[in-house]
């Protein structure tokens, strides 16, 4: 009985405990639900629209995740299909199937059809080793041999000083018989040995040698002109052997993956400092650092020349005979400057021409010139320039602008130390129409209005050779016109600088200057025949230096009218043979007649034959 009571009591306690537990659990669950509902309502009320935006982002993330899973599955299935469909790899070919070619020039021949002609060593029109079509050593070393002969014959009439002992009785005045005959032969050989792949990149190195043999003959009708001694004949024959090029070029390194490069060239070499050769154009001894940038959009030169003395009659280099003159040069070119098709160039020149005493080959004093007080002097001239070449639309443009400053320790015409301040400007406009070109040009070199004020305002160059306003088809440009021991204008120059010699004399910045207007017409009648018709009007900017030099009270400014015709014929449609015939004349106006006391028209007729092999 007691046992039954105890069991009943235990059962009641257990059931009560279970009931209490269920009630507690139910109550706790209800409380948690109420709290969650309250928090959700609060969040919705507090966040508002931000909750909806977050919900949309969450939905977008879920959608993107689903898409990625679908794409991953697609790529996996595609990779499985490719792996299943991929054919087995063939075995590697045996090594004996590949034959290495040790000489790609000789082993690989062009196909034999009628346009291909087998070259011979003496054939300049087809492939051979002597003109660089095949390597001469190994696979990348080439040799180019070039031979050229330049024959020049000229007959002219121009003012010729009569000297202290005349050759005929009619030469009692300052200027006598002006007839002149000139013959020049230049035989030139060029050896060009280089290494490199020239199709896409600059040469690794280059050795260039150009010996020139010159033979010249001149016949005048006056004594004391060709040589200092009046007992000498009125004609002269001279010869000269010189090196016009003797240089080594070395590629230093590339500055981009498009073969922009830096190279150095040392020795006797050719240098044009601008497009038309207005300031410095010469073959001389120097070193040059050059290269390009930005896929050849920029080109630059840094150069130093220790000038060699020139032979008087041939104007070729002497063999390692310096003349105490140094030229420093820096320029940079920019292609497509301002517009497509126009190249701009900016340059700096420094000419240091030291004082020296020199007599030329014929015995005439050259440095210092016979101009005023013949005292040795040093010239320091600095040139700043901007030149350009190209086209704007159909209009072709070439221009130059230079400012020169510096000093001359003892200018001969001024008789004192002078400060240099002179300018030069040139502009050529041309228009092409079919086979014709119409050209108009203007050239200005400043003149000195006050020769004795201590400032040299007359523009002069270093060693110029401009092809401008007709070039060799212009009488004024072609001829060197003498005037009492100096040149009114030098051969192949435009500036009337009163200089003893362009190649051997010193610059003179007290000169009359020049203003030139040009009209020209070029016509290519056939691929073989071209003609050039040229006319220039010339006048001095200021004649005060001429009046000071000649001790003449009045000299007018106008020089005259210069006109000429040139014919160029290439019989083989290339430059292996070029025949040139030219006739030019200068009809003097007031200023020229005041100087030379004659209104007679001056003329020049020349023919040139150039053969290149």
- The predicted pLDDT at position 223 comes to 78
pLDDT digits over 509-530, tens only?
999 999 999 999 999 999 999 9
Tokens of 220: 């005048």
Which H or E run contains 433?
strand 416-433
What is the pLDDT at residue 113? Answer: 64
Q: Give the residue from 183, 290, 304 showing the smallest Cα distance to 609.
A: 183
pLDDT (mean) for 441-467: 96
Domains parsed from the chain with CATH numbers:
146-612 (2.40.160.100)
Least confident of 97-101, 181-185, 436-440, 554-558: 97-101
Question: pLDDT band at residue 258, thresholds of 50, 70 and 90?
Answer: confident
Q: What is the pLDDT of residue 129?
A: 87
The pair of three-digit structure tokens given for residue 554, joined into one six-digit string: 């009045």
Question: What pLDDT, on a 0 to 100 scale, did the predictor assign at position 38?
Answer: 53
Express each pLDDT in 8-40 by its tens digit: 434 433 334 434 334 434 444 445 555 555 555
Pairing mode, if any, of strands 281-293 and 261-272? antiparallel
**Alpha carbon of residue 219 to chain centroid:** 38
Task: Select the highest-mean-pLDDT range: 84-98, 100-114, 395-409, 482-496.
Answer: 395-409
pLDDT tens track for 109-126: 767 666 667 778 788 888
Residues 184, 161: Cα–Cα separation, whole Å:
22
Instruction: Convert the pLDDT of each residue in 147-190 to its tens digit.
Output: 999 999 999 999 887 766 666 666 556 777 789 999 999 999 99
Strands 317-334, 577-588: parallel, antiparallel or unpaired by DSSP? unpaired
pLDDT of 218 above 90: yes
What's residue 96's pLDDT? 59
Q: What is the DSSP string of 537-599?
A: EEE-S--HHHHHHHT-S---SEEEEEEEEEEEE-TTSSTTEEEEEEEEEEEE-HHHHHHHS--
> Which one, of 439, 432, 564, 458, lies nearest residue 514 by Cα?
458
- The token duo for 190 is 């060029």
Q: Which of 38-47, 153-162, 365-374, 536-545 has the highest mean pLDDT?
A: 536-545
Which residues, including other chains, have CB under 8 Å from residue 79's CB and lie 6 or more apart?
none
Ranking 70-74, 122-126, 335-339, 564-568 by mean pLDDT, the lowest is 70-74
Q: How confident is the prediction for the chain on average, in pLDDT? A: 85
pTM, two decimals, is: 0.81
Percentage of the chain surpassing pLDDT 70?
Answer: 80
Region 255-271 average pLDDT:
94
């Amino acid at each position: 009985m007691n046992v039954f009571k105890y069991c009943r009591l235990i059962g009641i306690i257990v059931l009560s405990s279970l009931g209490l537990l269920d009630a507690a659990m139910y109550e706790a669950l209800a409380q948690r639900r109420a709290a969650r509902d309250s928090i959700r309502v609060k969040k919705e009320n507090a966040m508002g629209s931000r909750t909806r935006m977050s919900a949309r982002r969450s939905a977008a993330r879920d959608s993107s995740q689903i898409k990625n899973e679908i794409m991953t599955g697609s790529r996996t299935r595609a990779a499985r299909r490719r792996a299943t469909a991929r054919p087995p790899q063939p075995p590697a070919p045996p090594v004996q199937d590949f034959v290495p070619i040790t000489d790609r020039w000789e082993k690989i021949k062009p196909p034999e059809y009628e346009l291909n002609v087998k070259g011979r060593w003496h054939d300049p029109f087809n492939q051979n080793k002597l003109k660089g079509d095949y390597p001469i050593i190994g696979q990348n070393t080439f040799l180019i041999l070039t031979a050229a002969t330049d024959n020049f014959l000229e007959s002219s009439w121009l003012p010729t000083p009569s000297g202290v002992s005349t050759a005929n009785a009619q030469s009692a005045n300052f200027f006598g018989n002006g007839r002149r005959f000139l013959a020049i032969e230049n035989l030139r050989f060029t050896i060009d040995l280089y290494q490199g792949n020239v199709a896409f990149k600059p040469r690794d190195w280059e050795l260039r040698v150009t010996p020139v043999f010159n033979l010249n003959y001149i016949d005048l009708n006056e004594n004391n002109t060709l040589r200092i001694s009046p007992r000498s004949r009125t004609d002269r024959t001279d010869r000269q052997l010189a090196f016009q090029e003797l240089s080594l070029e070395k590629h230093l390194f590339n500055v981009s993956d498009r073969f922009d490069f830096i190279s150095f060239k040392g020795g006797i070499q050719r240098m044009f400092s601008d497009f038309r050769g207005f300031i410095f154009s010469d073959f001389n001894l120097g070193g040059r650092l050059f290269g390009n940038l930005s896929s050849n959009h920029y080109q630059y030169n840094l150069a130093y020349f220790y000038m060699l003395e020139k032979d008087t009659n041939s104007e070729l280099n002497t063999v390692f005979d310096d003349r105490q003159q140094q030229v420093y040069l820096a320029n940079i070119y920019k292609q497509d400057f301002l517009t497509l098709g126009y190249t701009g160039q900016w340059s700096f020149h420094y000419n240091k021409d030291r004082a020296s005493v020199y007599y030329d080959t014929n015995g005439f004093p050259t440095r210092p010139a016979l101009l005023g007080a013949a005292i040795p002097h040093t010239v320091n001239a600095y040139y700043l320039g901007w030149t350009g070449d190209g086209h704007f639309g159909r209009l072709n443009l070439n221009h130059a602008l230079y400012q020169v400053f510096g000093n001359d320790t003892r200018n001969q015409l001024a008789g004192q130390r002078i400060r240099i301040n002179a300018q030069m400007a040139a502009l050529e406009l041309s228009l092409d129409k079919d086979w014709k070109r119409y050209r108009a040009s203007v050239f200005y070199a400043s003149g000195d209005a006050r020769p004795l004020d201590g400032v040299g305002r007359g523009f002069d160059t270093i060693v110029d050779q401009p092809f401008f306003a007709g070039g060799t088809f212009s009488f004024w440009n072609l001829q060197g016109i003498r005037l009492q021991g100096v040149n009114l204008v030098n051969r192949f120059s435009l500036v009337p600088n009163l200089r003893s010699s362009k190649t051997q004399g010193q610059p003179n910045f007290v000169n009359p200057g020049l203003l030139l207007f040009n009209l020209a017409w070029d016509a290519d009648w056939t691929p073989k025949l071209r003609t050039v018709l040229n006319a220039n009007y010339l006048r001095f900017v200021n004649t005060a230096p001429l009046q000071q030099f000649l001790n003449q009270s009045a000299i007018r400014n106008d020089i005259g009218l210069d006109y000429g015709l040139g014919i160029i014929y290439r019989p083989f449609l290339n430059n292996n043979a070029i025949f040139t015939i030219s006739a030019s004349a200068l009809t003097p106006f007031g200023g020229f007649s005041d100087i030379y006391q004659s209104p007679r028209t001056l003329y020049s007729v020349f023919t040139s034959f150039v053969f290149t092999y």
